[in-house]
Amino acid sequence: MPNVLLWAVWTAAACIASAALVSRLGAWAAARGALDIPNARSSHVRPTPRGGGLAIVAVTLAAAAVMCILHPEAAGGLLGAVVPATAVAAVSWVDDVRSLPKRLRLAVHVGAAVAATAILGPIESVNLGGLGGLDLGPAAWPLTVLWIAGLTNAFNFMDGIDGIAGLTASIAGLVLGVVATNCGSPAVGGVAAAFAGAACGFLAWNWQPARIFMGDVGSAFCGFLLATLPLALPREAIPATLPVAVAPLGPFILDTGFTLVRRLLAGDNIFQAHRGHLYQRLVIAGLSHRTVATLYGLLAAILGLLAALKLRVAG
């Protein structure tokens, strides 16, 4: 079987497994108190189970275990990304069931980011193509930790309407899988492809009207893994491939960055829940969840495709 067909079967299997798990998670999560109750800031109108992201975590971990067996030489890098991501998912699941202090969650995110950076190594340089290269020098360590913890929280912030996080995770995982495979890292590519499939399987239950939400367990895991898994690629490939892997996350990063700066300038409490993100404003303006999620998904796909083509031409 051609490699493309093998990868398609692998990704489809992850999608089916994830969808099957999510189908059972609704009642299970509700029985454990993981319910999202509507309030003045909510975008939904009825209590909805959260924690569907557990299916993404479970399928991705299973895929990582298979890849560690098939490619033992890559096990250290995979575990450096997946184990800290699992710790983040664990504390996030506890937060889904019973709210934890924000400082505790942030401390776990930063601690996991430090652990991942220590195992995988920091981002030392980035190749921006025609814009030149960027050597991070002594700032490599703190900027890498900031990147990982920042994307973890940004993904959580952006998981506010039906479909948007699952669709973006699917596209970003698929792009990373292609990039990893092309630069000779089938283990990272296999985990990324399974992650993309798992996110797609979850999306089948989260598309408007959502029957289950991803929850912090899913959104924090997705953000953390998408930040760290590219760092498990061969060190020499990271400067050129990292911008391509990050490109599909551009809409999430820009929305979060713009909203954070605007709230800081306005003197708002950035830790307080709000509905000021650009995607939330579009919904408030009258667009449906599926329309806004599709818009962000299309932007992610276009950015990922353009970045991948640029890397291919440069190569």
Whether the per-residue pLDDT at 78 is higher than 90: the answer is yes
For tokens 């479970």, what's the residue? 58
Confidence of residue 224 (pLDDT cuts 50, 70, 90): very high
For tokens 């981002």, what's the residue? 123
Confidence of residue 39 (pLDDT cuts 50, 70, 90): low
Spatial distance between the Cα atoms of 62 and 45, rounded to a whole number of angstroms: 35
Percent share of the chain, pLDDT over 70: 94
**pLDDT tens-digit map of 263-274:** 888 888 777 777
Read off the DSSP letter of residue 209.
S
Within 10 angstroms of residue 148's Cβ, the number of other Cβ atoms is 30
Whether the per-residue pLDDT at 313 is higher than 60: the answer is no
Please compute the mean of the pLDDT values over residues 233-258 and round it to a whole number: 94
Task: Tell me if 191 sits within 8 A of 68, measured CB to CB.
Answer: no
pLDDT of residue 44: 58
- Strands (E) across 46-122 are located at 48-49
Please compute the mean of the pLDDT values over residues 226-247 and round it to a whole number: 94
Whether the per-residue pLDDT at 259 is higher than 50: the answer is yes
Spatial distance between the Cα atoms of 215 and 158, rounded to a whole number of angstroms: 12
Q: Which of 119, 107, 59 is nearest to 83 (CA)?
A: 119
Residue 119, both tokens? 């195992």
Mean pLDDT, the chain, whole residue set: 91
pTM: 0.94
Residue 213, both tokens? 């939400």
User: The domain containing residue 218 runs over which residues?
Assistant: 3-314
Spatial distance between the Cα atoms of 188 and 175, rounded to a whole number of angstroms: 12
Confidence of residue 1 (pLDDT cuts 50, 70, 90): very low
Percent share of the chain, pLDDT over 90: 75
pLDDT of residue 45: 60
Confidence of residue 80 (pLDDT cuts 50, 70, 90): very high
Q: Which of 287, 283, 259 is nearest to 273 (CA)?
A: 259
Task: Tell me if 299 sits within 8 A of 250, measured CB to CB.
Answer: yes
pLDDT of residue 92: 95
The total number of structural domains that make up the chain: 1
More confident residue, 74 or 267: 74
**pLDDT tens-digit map of 153-179:** 999 999 999 999 999 999 999 999 999
Whether the per-residue pLDDT at 132 is higher than 80: the answer is no
pLDDT of residue 2: 57
**Cα 63 off chain centre by:** 16
pLDDT of residue 129: 72
